[in-house]
Amino acid sequence: MLVKLVPGLTPAQVLDLVTTRGGIERATVPALRLVVVDVPAAQAQAIRARYLKDSRVRSVEVDQQRKTAATPSDPLYSMQWNLPKIGWDNVFGSVTPSGTATIAILDTGVDASHPDLAGRVLPGYSAFAGSNPATDPNGHGTEMAGITVATTDNQTGIAGVAYSGVSIIPVQVLDSTGVGQDSDIVNGVIWAADNGANVILMPFSNTGFSQTLQDAVSYAWSKGVVLIAATGNNGSSSATYPAGDADVVGVSATDQNDALWSGSNYGADTFIAAPGVSIPTTEPGGTYISISGTSASSAMVAGVAAFERAADPAASNAVIVGRLAQDADPAGTAQQTGN
């Protein structure tokens, strides 16, 4: 459970709260006055009710799971159709960023040893004890990394959207199956915001709203971070989160014809769309793969946002998000593809 506390409690008072109300304290998020409490599933409702009756508690939420929003499809294609589609070929070779920027990829980790990511991966954070965020037991995080920052013009593999001036910070909050708890995701958002991330990429989704996750997002936004999230791959107009949270750029997926991909979610939480079908990218072990889904689309937008920040270091997160909307080409309806 995610237990949000009232201000001003001492560590001793927090310990007393958990001891008397039930469960085992697993983690804390001081920036949000949050305690993560493990409880037996069969007793969850009863224990939640006890916490809610305590004047020291502001709110209690279920620690929900969120899943990755991309599915590997075909082997790597010889051409990255997605880059010319967003005008990348008109920028490469003519724009060199004057500054630098970082993208925190909240995912399964990143294989920092991949030849096409060499020198682009900074030290990161893992929510899992003993795990190295510069490794990736699943592959999804490495796929996001390749789309955003794969080394360009190096006679190897693919080109990244942010071809210069941008590095990534692997923030491992999803496990080897691509699933993560809100408590770990919240910690990851806070850690990234506190450790210099200019852009936070969240390529996962869930239909359940979490006020705690919204609080973490708002905290990151207040520190100048641009937050990007995938809308999901269910072909549904139902809102998902964190794409539907305030201050988050929700991204749907389009195909080679600028049409909404059949599997893409859409609706009120969609701020913008980007190519998301058969996108070549990096895979752990030095290989490559082609993936489809709104995760790939969100990674493309994250790459653009970070490149914007590197090219204009003084630009605020609000300015960068405004530019994303202003510079987007018309495609589909507003409900399908946002701006």
* Model confidence pLDDT, tens digit, residues 149-204: 999 888 889 999 999 999 999 999 999 999 999 999 999 999 999 999 999 999 99
Active site residue 140: yes
> Quick one: which of 110, 229, 99 has its CA closest to 166?
99
Q: Which two tokens stand for residue 320?
A: 């960068």
Same-domain status, 44 and 100: no
Of the candidates 107, 136, 184, 269, the residue annotated as catalytic is 107
Contacts of 314 (CB under 8 A, 6+ apart): none
Q: Which of 114, 116, 126, 140 is catalytic?
A: 140
For the chain, the average pLDDT equals: 93
Band of residue 328 on the pLDDT scale cut at 50, 70, 90: confident
One domain for residues 48 and 193: no
Residues 56, 77 within the same domain: no
Cα-atom radius of gyration of the chain, to the nearest Å? Answer: 20
> Are residues 71 and 138 both part of a single domain?
yes
Give the total number of structural domains in the chain.
Answer: 2
Residue 114 annotated among the catalytic residues of the structure: no
pLDDT in tens, 241-261: 999 999 999 999 999 999 999
Say whether 262 is catalytic: no
Do residue 172 and residue 268 come from a single domain? yes
Domain that holds residue 97: 66-337
Q: Does residue 70 sit in the same domain as residue 44?
A: no
- Is the domain of 72 the same as that of 58? no
Arithmetic mean of pLDDT, 322-331: 85
My answer on whether 30 and 156 are in the same domain is no
Q: 72 pLDDT exceeds 80?
A: no
Q: Which of 167, 205, 264, 295 is catalytic?
A: 295
Q: Are residues 211 and 330 in the same domain?
A: yes
Which of 47, 63, 79 terminates a domain? The answer is 63
Helix, strand, or coil (residue 190): helix
Residue 73 has pLDDT above 50, yes or no: no
The reported pTM is: 0.89
Together in a domain, 293 and 224:
yes
- Shared-domain flag, residues 166 and 129: yes
User: Would you place residue 332 in the very low, low, confident or very high pLDDT band (cuts 50, 70, 90)?
Assistant: low
Residues 19 and 112 in one domain: no
> What is the pLDDT, as a whole number, of residue 337?
59
b/e code 116-149 from CB counts within 10 Å (16+ = b): bbeebbbebbbbbeeeebbbbbbbbbbbbbbbbb
Report the CATH number at residue 289: 3.40.50.200
